[in-house]
Structure 1
Amino acid sequence: MSTPTVSRDTGPEWGAGPYADALRTGRGPLFLRRTDGWLLPLEVERWCAGADTADLSALRRCEGPVLDIGCGPGRLVAALADRGHRVLGIDVSAAAVARTTAAGGTALCRSVFDPLPDEGRWGTALLLDGNIGIGGDVRALLARTAELLAPHGLLIVETSPADIDERVRVQVAGGHTGHPAHTDESFLWARVGTRALLRHAAPELWTPAAQWTVPGGAQLPGADRCFVALRHSRTAVPRSRG
């Protein structure tokens, strides 16, 4: 199976500007701002804290070596290492990687679509905290993740609590007004609920393994955090890139 041809439009503003500033300070406010002005709050304070109950509900299911895609400041990398897993975080933000490694974790500043270590040999991959949206093409991201996993490996995805399936162009926005720092910079992002994720998960690549919810979640007050586990259903030949 070859790497899908997708746009590398994964977000220049993740690497600098308000996102990097928020990770350095551990505080928001931070948003994804759609072109129509709608704002999606990003939970910087939670990302910069330790793994919470909802996170641990996913981490307990991890098998073997774990790849955390879009690791952010590294709370999941740290928690998995504490549980005895070999774990690698990847992120396009140098600030995120620096924070992860400063805390003792292992992380690389790379896109998921770049060549990565141990392709075809990871036991579990994580797409939490909305990272199923990376690149704005859920099917391409799922296909790429299948390349990274070992045969019968596990992918754990956090989905939106809303029944949604959207692909939009957004900007990272900081400050209390939510105005983006660079109005000429935008990138594609996706948001999917559980039903949409299962529609996008090609049956020749994925078998649904579990679905669960945990109370909480700041993006929709009072809503649950929602998770789906998918089992890689195709026998893959390990790749040696990276």
Structure 2
Amino acid sequence: MSTSERQVDGCPEPWNSAPYAGAIHSPVGDVTLRDAEGWSFPLDVGRWSGRADPADEAVLERCTGPILDVGCGAGRLVEALARRGHAVLGVDERRRVRIHVGRQAVSPVFSWATVGTRALERHGRLSGWAPIERWTSLSGERHFVALRACA
């Protein structure tokens, strides 16, 4: 979990600190998340450590008020929103994973989540949230949903 309230010298904890720092500072190679049951997910460390891309900017520009980033991953967008003055909370709630470089674990176990847009909308509706916008990055690889609390 990443929060804007976690402070170090008056600044939010950077997105590139533990447990992601081990992967970011590891030699380029086969960087994956793995859980105890054998599930594996490749990590795009280059994208994490780069500047905001157009898809990131599209998300950041749509954000108003307090923000909940479900499936925040490394928390890079959580940090960017906190720097813009938003109250923001990033949550990863589904698996307990470790970062691996090749076959070697380079991090302690931590929580990680992924959620598709349809599942997010379904769970959101059940929790009192309504989808107000859906969009896809220009590459078609990333999908987004904006939700607002029902009145």
TM-score w.r.t. the length of structure 2 is 0.65
- Coordinate RMSD, CA, aligned: 3.6
1:15 lines up with 2:1 in the alignment: no
**1:13-39 Cα shifts (integer Å, max 9, x gaps):** x834xx322334696643211334232
The answer to whether structure 1 residue 179 and structure 2 residue 107 are counterparts is no
Which residues of structure 1 form unaligned runs of 5+?
1-13, 88-121, 137-168, 217-222, 235-242
Task: Give the 3-state SS of the residue equivalent to 1:60 in structure 2.
Answer: helix
Q: Quote the Cα distance in structure 1 between the aligned partners of 2:119 and 2:75.
A: 28
Aligned to 2:5: none
Gap change, CA 1:178 and 1:212, over 3 Å in 2: farther
CA distance in 2, matches of 1:198, 1:67: 14
Percent identity between matched residues is 36
Equivalenced residues, count:
134
Whether contact under 8 Å (1:29, 1:44) holds in the other structure is no
* Paired residue type of 1:207: A
Counterpart-to-counterpart distance in 1, 2:78 and 2:127: 29
Q: Which consecutive aligned stretches of 4+ in structure 1 deviate over 4 angstroms post-superposition?
A: 24-29, 64-71, 73-76, 78-81, 185-188
The aligned residue for residue 33 of structure 1 is: 34
Quote the Cα distance in structure 2 between the aligned partners of 1:62 and 1:86.
11
Q: Report the equivalent of 1:229.
A: 146
Counterparts of 1:71 and 1:41 in 2: how far apart (Å)?
A: 13
Q: Which has the larger radius of gyration?
A: 1
For residue 202 of structure 1, report the CA deviation from its aligned partner. 3.5
Q: Alignment partner of 1:59: what SS?
A: helix
Closer, same or farther: CA 66–35 of 1 in aligned 2, 3 Å:
closer
